[in-house]
Amino acid sequence: MMHMTLRWFGSKHDTVTLEQIKQIPGVEGVITTLYDIPAGEVWPRERIKALKDEVEAAGLKVLGIESVNIHDDIKIGNENRDKWIDNYIATLEALGEEGITTVCYNFMPVFDWTRTDLAKVRPDGSTVLAYDQKIVDTIDPKAFFDQTNASSQGFEMPGWEPERLAKVKDLFDAYKDVTEEKLFDNLVYFLKRIQPTCEKYDIKMAIHPDDPAWPVFGLPRIITRLDRIQKLMKAVDAPFNGVTFCAGSYGTNPNNDLPGMIRALKGRVHFAHIRNLHHFEDGVFEEAAHLSSDGSFDLYEIVKALYDIGFEGPARPDHGRMIWGEVAMPGYGLYDRALGSQYILGLYEAITKADRSR
């Protein structure tokens, strides 16, 4: 069975409360993180335990971490990487000791997900995150970073932490010799080093795709399409090495056949992000409500593919629209994600029952 969750950034960072999440029917747990710990630092076991206790006191479970972020030295593959990997292993051990076994991470250089508008107004007055490649092509990365943070309504967004801002220029320099091949090798190196720890604690590593699924600002991006993921699955051919199947990220490229990718990744999908996008033209899209008819994806086929491969991990509705006057972190309001969760659970129930009656 798939387990429905909501992403939650912690009581100090999220406008959405655990009590609200608990009232959404069918939501069993949260996907959370220690938001204030910079990439590379070891997560203290007591902090993980306190987080777990807080979530459990609200009647929910911690069903995964999104994200334990990877220090750029690991992605660059420089002489400091082993120290940061040792720290990562210590964090995995602490999570494993606390029984938390799904870990989402990404391997995108410098920037995490990228959008050019965090509050594009749709005809019904809702706002969504949107992307236009033409804007990215004309703006300098540092100005882009400033602009993204300035438009987040004061919310510190995942992957856009202000302490990274100061380093943007240095980071671009540090990546100048990192080709796609090198980035891939650095990822394999990292996975091989953490493998014994993951296997000891049965931790499933779920790599998040690059969003959008192509290179931005001239930086290499490697988790973009099926053949590349399969290459990664083979390079470290063990079940701990899996993916976060993020429909919205892979779906930024209309050539990615989302249900087909899910089916091809059977056994290696450890976490699912389910949402919808509306495509306008190549490289121009906006996010949409989860409902199939509101965007370009067939959500029924996506959920069906997850069901068919026997997916049993956590799933979450991904970025929602901002509706009903809510003020929250862009993409992460309560209302539209709650609606999305009910729609996905409805599809799932119908698919399950149709199968039993066969």
> Looking at the annotation, which residues are catalytic?
208, 246, 273, 318-319, 332
Instruction: Pick between residue 105 and residue 356 the one whose CB is nearest to ligand DNO.
Output: 105
| Least gap, CB of 356 to ligand DNO (angstroms) | 33
281 DSSP β-pair partners: 284
3-state secondary structure string across 114-163? CCCEEEEECCCCCEEEEEEHHHHHHCCHHHHHHHHHHCCCCCCCCCCCHH
Integer Cα distance of 159 and 106 in angstroms: 10
Instruction: Region of 217 please: left (phi>0), alpha (psi -120 to 50) or beta.
Output: left
| Least gap, CB of 206 to ligand DNO (angstroms) | 9
272 DSSP β-pair partners: 245, 315
Instruction: Pick between residue 68 and residue 339 the one whose CB is nearest to ligand DNO.
Output: 68
For 51, the token pair is: 């987080």
Show the beta-strand stretches assigned E in the chain: 3-7, 29-32, 61-66, 102-106, 117-121, 127-132, 204-208, 241-246, 269-274, 277-281, 284-287, 314-317
Instruction: Pick between residue 115 and residue 350 the one whose CB is nearest to ligand DNO.
Output: 115
Instruction: Pick between residue 101 and residue 123 the one whose CB is nearest to ligand DNO.
Output: 101
| Least gap, CB of 353 to ligand DNO (angstroms) | 31
Distances (CA, A) of 24 to 15, 19, 241, 343: 16, 9, 31, 12
| Least gap, CB of 201 to ligand DNO (angstroms) | 20
Instruction: Pick between residue 158 and residue 251 the one whose CB is nearest to ligand DNO.
Output: 158
- In terms of DSSP bridges, do strands 284-287 and 127-132 run parallel, antiparallel, or are they unpaired? antiparallel
Residues that bind ligand DNO (CB under 6 A): 66-67, 104-106, 112-113, 158-159, 208, 331
| Least gap, CB of 250 to ligand DNO (angstroms) | 12
Which residues lie closer than 8 Å to 263 by C-beta, 6 or more apart?
305, 308, 309
Instruction: Pick between residue 158 and residue 259 the one whose CB is nearest to ligand DNO.
Output: 158
DSSP summary character for residue 294: G
| Least gap, CB of 317 to ligand DNO (angstroms) | 12
